[in-house]
Amino acid sequence: MVYEQQMVRMLYKKLLALYPRGFRERMGESMEQTFNDLCNERKQQTESGWLGFVLGIFVETAIGIVQENILLLREMNAMKNSLTHLRLPAILSFLVILPFILLEFTFVIVKRLTFDLRDALDSIVIFSFLWLGVAAIVLILMPIVRNLRAGNNRMVNPAPAQGNNTILTNPTSAMIISFLLALPFLTILLLLWLHIEPPLGPLEPLLKNPDPDQPNVLGTLLFLGALLLAVAACLIARVPIVRAMQAGGSLFAHPMNLMLAVVILSFIAMLVVGLIVDQYPCWIGVPNCD
């Protein structure tokens, strides 16, 4: 019990780090003390349901973190350039996957089911992909949603966007570049879902692991690289759309770019959902799950 208390206190301290800096510096120490006081009080009252109680505090604090970050964003008049504001997508996506991490923590680690280094590495890889996937979705959608809420979605011909067109802001070149960047990721996922074994040739010994107990590092890295390229592709495809909306145009001003962005986003979303559906039984402690 003492070990679990120390661990949750450490985890709560790490959770508090997600608050905006100003808030954290002013209130962080008090919040930590209050959390300790609440845990001690609960421990004195009863030992049963302690984890659920702690989980409730984590969730409530996480909601507070989201609220404070959104408030900060509004104060900053955010997001002229979404790439310089990666913090909010990273935090939001982490909070989305936090319940699943806590589920695995509760049912696997705390209940001392079989858990070794390989399991830990697998968990880290899976949650990292989930985090990246959800963060990418938030990052891609944020400026579009912001412009929609600002009422820039008009079904009329847009006014010409300000500034010279670059290779990324030109809709045609942006579409071609993003298609090429997204191709590896889309291909890999399609092959996986259709259960088609591609001819790997000389790469087969590297990508196909004869020992299923050994992690396929190269395969994982390649898939990660493909996913990152797909995210970059979607961001590039989105550039002319956001520029058109900011100039007062419609979301549908560049339909081909929009269609490509939607396709890539859908694949990323399907990856996220597929991972969750596939791994959920493992997170709730179903035995012999992989």
Contacts with other proteins, residue ranges (CB under 8 A) = 23, 26-27, 29-31, 33-38, 40, 56-57, 60-65, 67-68
The two structure tokens encoding residue 140? 């891609």
We find the least distance from the C-beta atom of residue 192 to other proteins, in angstroms, to be 40
We find the least distance from the C-beta atom of residue 8 to other proteins, in angstroms, to be 13
The two structure tokens encoding residue 218? 């190269």
- Choose among 201, 158, 197, 193: nearest CA to 267: 193
C-beta closer to other proteins: residue 8 or 31: 31
The total of other beta-carbon atoms located within 10 Å of residue 176's CB is 15
> Between the CA of residue 10 and those of 3, 13, 64, what are the distances in Å?
11, 5, 18
C-beta closer to other proteins: residue 71 or 190: 71
We find the least distance from the C-beta atom of residue 16 to other proteins, in angstroms, to be 9
C-beta closer to other proteins: residue 34 or 157: 34
C-beta closer to other proteins: residue 27 or 256: 27
C-beta closer to other proteins: residue 40 or 172: 40
We find the least distance from the C-beta atom of residue 31 to other proteins, in angstroms, to be 5
**158 near 244, Cβ under 8 Å?**
yes
Whole-angstrom distance, CA of residue 136 vs CA of residue 126: 15
The DSSP call for residue 77 is T
Provide the terminal-to-terminal Cα distance of the chain, rounded to the nearest Å: 28
We find the least distance from the C-beta atom of residue 40 to other proteins, in angstroms, to be 8
Residue 41 carries which side chain, given as an amino acid letter?
E
